[in-house]
């Protein structure tokens, strides 16, 4: 067996875990455990849609789980492929996933550990439950992060002058979309697992462990829908406020331009050298022109203020 394939065994169960499998590793695992060629191909990139395949000797599950990058504060989906048979469980992740890797390390025996490794269950259904439960609980801190981020941008909703707020809203919207993409069809796949696993395990035993997983996925999906509606409303509010501010700026700019245009027109008329033009030959004529322009400008400004246009 390739050293890149991590494996734990007891008398009745084998758990093999592979991170970022390549074609060589997937082919090797496929030959050893008798996987269908299509399933071996689905293990490899690109990301596949969540589904369950019912094979004669095993069940093949494809699920997506969210991964939170602390550096970029962005969420992206990671594919987790699970093959469960009567005496083995295979897990593949398209990239390192802390929760799954840690669960495997907790069950892996090692002399360096100060705490003894957890005992590997005898039943693959129990181990599958632990894997799925761990991955689902891994989602809840991300739910909390998104909730806190939404509260933060909501409290700053009127600070539309800060471009960072709009960028934050768009980042949160993208995270929610990617989170929903990852959790899509989870409930359906787990229900199909319960329905089709009677050939491998007791349906009653599976129901005992997996019904709460269905509830967890429904809760997560419900919260994501609520987050999606909330951030859409915040985005619309930000956009409306930005449009309002832009309209106000354009309105003031238009009024200012109209005053400048009017003063320019008055000045042009008063300095035209034509018979009867006032102020041309008057002493202090320039001062009178400035006074007239000031009166016109002040009158227009007072009119705009009276109409509450400024």
- Give 133-181 as a DSSP string: HHHHHTHHHHHHHHHHHHHHHHHTTT-TT-HHHHHHHHHHHHHHHHHHH
CB atoms within 10 A of CB 212: 12
Could you tell me the residue ranges of all domains in the chain? 6-243, 252-306
Fold of 6-243: Beta Polymerase; domain 2 (3.30.460)
| 200 in Cβ contact with 244 (< 8 Å) | no
| Helices within the chain (DSSP H only) | 23-33, 37-43, 98-107, 124-137, 139-155, 163-183, 186-196, 203-270, 285-306
pLDDT over threshold 50, residue 1 = no
What's the pLDDT score for residue 114? 56
* Tokens coding 80: 């987790």
Residues in contact with 37: Cβ distance below 8 Å, sequence separation at least 6, in sequence order: 30
- Tens-place pLDDT, residues 209-240: 788 888 999 999 999 999 999 999 988 888 88
Distance in angstroms (rounded) separating the CA atoms of residues 244 and 309:
14
Distance in angstroms (rounded) separating the CA atoms of residues 152 and 140:
18
Distance in angstroms (rounded) separating the CA atoms of residues 49 and 42:
10
Percentage of residues in the chain having pLDDT higher than 70: 91
- Tens-place pLDDT, residues 77-129: 999 999 999 999 999 999 999 999 999 998 887 756 555 667 888 888 889 99
Mean model confidence pLDDT for the chain: 86
- Tens-place pLDDT, residues 260-301: 888 888 888 777 776 767 767 777 777 877 888 888 888 888
CB atoms within 10 A of CB 179: 27
| 153 in Cβ contact with 165 (< 8 Å) | yes
């Amino acid at each position: 067996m390739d050293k890149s394939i991590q494996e734990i065994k007891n008398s009745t169960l084998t758990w093999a875990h592979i991170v970022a499998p390549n074609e060589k590793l997937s082919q090797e695992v496929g030959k050893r455990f008798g996987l269908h060629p299509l399933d071996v191909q689905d293990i490899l990139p690109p990301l596949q849609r969540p589904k369950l395949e019912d094979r004669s000797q095993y069940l093949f599950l494809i699920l997506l789980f969210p991964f939170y990058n602390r550096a970029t504060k962005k969420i992206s989906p990671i594919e987790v492929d699970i093959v469960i048979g009567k005496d083995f469980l295979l897990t593949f992740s398209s990239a390192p996933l802390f929760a799954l890797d840690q669960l495997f390390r907790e069950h892996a025996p090692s002399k360096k550990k100060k705490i003894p490794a957890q005992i590997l269950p005898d039943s693959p259904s129990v181990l599958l439950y632990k894997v799925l439960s761990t991955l689902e609980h891994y989602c809840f801190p991300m739910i909390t992060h998104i909730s806190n981020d939404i509260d933060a941008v909501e409290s700053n909703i009127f600070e539309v002058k800060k471009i960072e707020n709009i960028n934050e809203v768009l980042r949160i919207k993208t995270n929610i979309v990617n989170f929903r993409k990852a959790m899509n069809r989870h409930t359906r796949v787990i229900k199909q697992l319960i329905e089709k696993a009677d050939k491998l395990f007791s349906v009653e035993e599976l129901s005992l462990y997996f019904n709460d997983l269905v509830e967890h996925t429904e809760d997560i999906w419900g919260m994501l829908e609520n987050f999606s509606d909330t951030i859409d409303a915040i985005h619309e509010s930000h956009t409306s406020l930005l449009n309002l501010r832009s309209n106000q700026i354009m309105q003031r700019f238009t009024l200012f331009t109209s005053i400048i245009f009017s003063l320019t027109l008055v000045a042009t008329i008063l300095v035209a050298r034509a018979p009867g033009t006032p102020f041309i030959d008057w002493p202090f004529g320039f001062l009178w022109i400035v006074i007239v322009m000031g009166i016109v400008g002040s009158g227009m400004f007072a009119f705009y203020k009276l109409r509450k246009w400024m």
